[in-house]
Amino acid sequence: MSIISVKDVSFSYNEKKLGLKNVNIEIKKGEWIAILGHNGSGKSTLAKTLVGLLEPQSGEILIDQVLLNDESAYELRKKIGIVFQNPDNQFVGVTVRDDIAFGMENLCIPREEMLEKIDFYAQKVGMKEYLDKQPSNLSGGQKQRVAIAGILAMHSDILIFDEATSMLDPYTRSDLIEYIKTLNKEGLTIIMITHDVNEALLADRMLILNQGEVYAFEATNDLLKKPEVFRECHLELPVALEVASKVESQKIKEKLWEYVLTK
Amino acid sequence: MNSIIIGQYIPGKGFFYRLDPRTKIISVLFLMIAVFMLENITQLSIALAAAIFILLIGQISIIKVAKGLRAIFVLLIFTFVFQIALNTEGKILSQATLHFNLYSVLAIVLAFVFWRILLRLGKFKFLLFLAFVFGVYFILRYVGYGTDFYSFSLTIYEKGIEMSVFVIVRILIIITFTTVLTLSTKPTDLTHGIECLLRPLKKIGFNSEDFALIISLSLRYIPTIFDEAQKIMAAQASRGADFSEGKLKDKLKQIISLLVPMFIIAFMRSEELADAMESRNFVPGQSRTRINVLKFSMIDVYSGVFTLLCFAGAIVIKVI
Ligand SMILES: Nc1ncnc2c1ncn2[C@@H]1O[C@H](COP(=O)(O)OP(=O)(O)OP(=O)(O)O)[C@@H](O)[C@H]1O
Ligand SMILES: [Mg+2]
């Protein structure tokens, strides 16, 4: 049963340029998907069409078997949380606390509950000491953490991260990834847009976009065996895979693949 | 940069910081109306005493309020001159002819230069200004040599002095009240307070919640936009733009070359922000719970009673 199905979706910002070309995707509940692609390949565009912020010129999108359109968008958005690329332009509140609360306020969550959740998620992203700070006093990575906390607090079924961990320090990032793993085990569907191949390796399946088209959408362990796909799309390969593509022995190859996946 | 986002607000712990913003806004409104009902200097003096009393219990420094007065300094001087020159009631206090001739005009120019030089010292600006104004008056009055190319007679009446003092004290009191409000209330609390007070307007289609959200978003983005401007200026300077010199025409060009990218960036930002808000389930006009809630406490009751007493007192005076 697909929680997201994208059927033959095309989208263009203007006549000259197609943002997405005939995209077909099926994502099952509880899956972890990584979306990879060069700059301008349409990753953010796809994410925005999935939450109904951009309306495709053709094709249709179903979220939980419900057609996404202007009327259903408000209801469907409650199921999807998205963290955008630029943390500065999604900071709505005057303080960190206000910003984490914003989404919950819109969902009409009672105040007491909000306070508890703010504490919990601020702790999770390591921003508890900053709750009363204003965004102008925060670093880019700190704003990113706040944005993530604000989305996590809304308890959506599907989480989309559009390069949302790009500014985090390695320590915070791996902490957060661990937490996302537990959420994924609890049944949340995770979609991670990233330029970091190591982060993408955590996914069950990888979606590789190239010039607005789906270049590959396969299980991670299958894709690992096709380094040429990465090269053709100008993507970075983990060192171990680079090595694997060079060695002859099938045995060493398998060892290396295994190593990459368990890391 | 932060001084812009917090406006006049100065963090502190006094009495007024603990008051609910709604109480403060309403009280200031009522006290202002009360002050406008007073009719003579004696009554105003009592009000002034009350204003100073308010400052004292609020532990708000009079110096800070005085600084707030600087902004309306010109207004005060203008009121003063206006009242003295145009009010023709009561006893005549002084009558003098003011002479404009070669010598007096020269003397005024000298006095002006002297005043500007002294200003460089950076101290006693206000006193220096007063000295300059009085200096001009005395020069015009007593330097009567040679032929005047213009002269007129200035008569100062008792009522003129009285009214100017009256109006100035009234302005001072009102400024004191509003400064206490803005010094002790964060802009966010202020907007929240206004929002709550305007909520009844929902019946006639005015949504105060959305209005308050717009205000607080603006407050939120002011420092960001200033940072942006600085970045653009730095980027342009690093490519050889010079912002400090040049003719007016060059300056204009530079300003335009700064404004255009700033507008474009601001538009892009607001679009992304709208996307972010929408994706977090924001629907304009829809009811939402609030993380920040306002609560009245005992001190709000005390303050309310105090305000009411002042207001009632003013009405009683007016009626009698
Ligand atoms: N608001 C817009 N108006 C016009 N064209 C746009 C707009 N946003 C993106 N594009 C174009 O659409 C294409 C896809 O952009 P998109 O932002 O989806 O790329 P991306 O894969 O997210 O890239 P990145 O890795 O840099 O985030 C790009 O060629 C871009 O120039
Ligand atoms: Mg992008």
Q: Rounded to an integer, what distance in angstroms lies between the CA atom of residue A61 and that of residue A68?
A: 6
pLDDT score of B81:
81
pLDDT tens-digit map of A85-111: 999 889 998 889 999 999 999 999 999
pLDDT at residue A118, rounded to an integer: 96
Q: CB atoms < 10 A from the CB of B102, how many?
A: 13
pLDDT over 70 percentage in chain B: 95
Q: Are B275 and A115 in contact (CB < 8 Å)?
A: no
Residues in contact with A173: Cβ distance below 8 Å, sequence separation at least 6, in sequence order? A165
Confidence of residue A37 (pLDDT cuts 50, 70, 90): very high
CB contact under 8 A, A90 and B2: no
pLDDT confidence of residue A263: 66
Q: What is the pLDDT of residues B285-316, one digit of tens each?
A: 888 898 888 889 899 999 999 899 989 988 98
Alpha helices (H) in A94-211, listed in sequence order: 96-106, 111-124, 140-152, 170-185, 197-200
> What's the predicted TM-score (pTM) here?
0.79
- H or E element at residue A36: strand A32-37
Closest CA to B66 of B78, B80, B76, B57: B76
d(CA B287, CA A77): 17
Rounded CA Rg of chain A: 19
Nearest CB to B277; choose among A74, A92, A101: A92
HSE-CB of A207 using CA atoms within 13 angstroms:
25
Residues paired with A63 in a beta bridge: A4, A66
For residues B190-213, give the mean pLDDT. 87
Nearest CA to ligand 1 atom 3: A13
Q: Is A41 in the pocket of ligand 1 (CB under 6 A)?
A: yes
- Chain A contact present for B7, CB below 8 A: no
Q: Please identify, by atom number, the ligand 1 atom nearest to the C-alpha of residue A40.
A: 19
Q: What DSSP string describes A55-117? A: --SEEEEEETTEE-STTTHHHHHTTEEEE-S-GGGG--SSSHHHHHHHHHHHTT--HHHHHHH
Mean pLDDT of chain A: 91
CA B194-B196-B202 angle, to 5 degrees, is 105
Q: What is the pLDDT of residues B257-278, one digit of tens each?
A: 888 888 998 899 899 999 999 9
Q: B88-137 pLDDT, tens per residue?
A: 888 888 888 888 888 888 999 999 999 888 888 777 777 888 888 889 88
pLDDT tens per residue, range A156-192: 999 999 999 888 999 989 989 999 999 999 999 999 9
Strand partners, A12: A18
pLDDT of B173 higher than 50: yes
Among A123-127, A227-231, B144-148, B215-219, the least confident range: B144-148
> How many whole angstroms separate alpha carbon B169 and alpha carbon B174?
9
Above 70 in pLDDT, residue B3? no
The rounded distance, in Å, linking the Cα atoms of A76 and A82 is: 12
Ligand 1 lined by A210 (C-beta under 6 Å): no
Q: Summarize pLDDT for A119-129 with one digit per residue, the tens.
A: 999 999 999 99
- State the CB neighbour count (10 A cutoff) for residue A85: 17
Q: Which of A143, A160, A162 is nearest to A100 (CA)?
A: A143
Compute the distance between CA of residue A140 and CA of residue A144 in angstroms, rounded to an integer: 6
Alpha-carbon span A81 to A53, nearest angstrom = 12
CB atoms within 10 A of CB A209: 25
Looking at the predicted complex, does its ipTM rise above 0.85?
Answer: yes
B4 contact residues in A (CB cutoff 8 A):
none
Mean pLDDT of A123-139: 90
What was the pLDDT predicted at B5?
40
With an 8 Å Cβ cutoff, the interface of chain A facing chain B consists of: 48, 51, 53, 74, 77-78, 80-82, 84, 86, 88-95, 97-98, 101-111, 114-115, 118, 134-137, 150-151, 154
Establish whether residue A49 lines the binding site of ligand 1, counting it when its CB lies within 6 angstroms of any ligand atom. Answer: no
Q: Which of B26-30, B57-61, B208-212 is predicted most confidently?
A: B26-30
Each residue's pLDDT tens digit, B203-253: 888 888 888 888 888 878 888 888 888 888 888 888 877 766 667 787 788
Q: Which of A37-46, B67-76, B166-175, B262-271 has the lowest mean pLDDT?
A: B67-76
Q: What percent of chain A has pLDDT over 90?
A: 67
Backbone angles phi, psi at A144, to 5 degrees: -65, -40
Q: In what order do the strands lie in the sheet with A80-83?
A: A80-83, A158-162, A189-193, A32-37, A205-210, A213-219
CA distance A184 to A157: 10
- Cβ distance A106 to B227 less than 8 Å, yes or no, reads no
Q: Is the CB of A13 under 6 A from ligand 1?
A: yes
B131 vs B111: CA distance, rounded Å? 10
Among A23, A45, A194, which residue has the most ligand 1 atoms within 8 Å of its CB, making it the best to mutate?
Answer: A45
Are the C-beta atoms of A208 and A233 separated by less than 8 Å?
yes
Q: Look-up: residue for tokens 């980027």? A: B235
What is the average pLDDT value for chain B, to the nearest integer? 84
* Set A112, A163, A178, A248: catalytic member: A163
Active site residue A236: no
Where is pLDDT greater, at B218 or A112?
A: A112
Best of A41, A49, A83, A215 to mutate for ligand 1, by most ligand atoms within 8 A of CB? A41
CA distance A36 to A230: 9
Contact B232, B262 (CB under 8 A): yes
CB-neighbour burial class of residue B78 (10 A; exposed 0-12, middle 13-18, buried 19+): exposed
pLDDT for the residue B4: 40
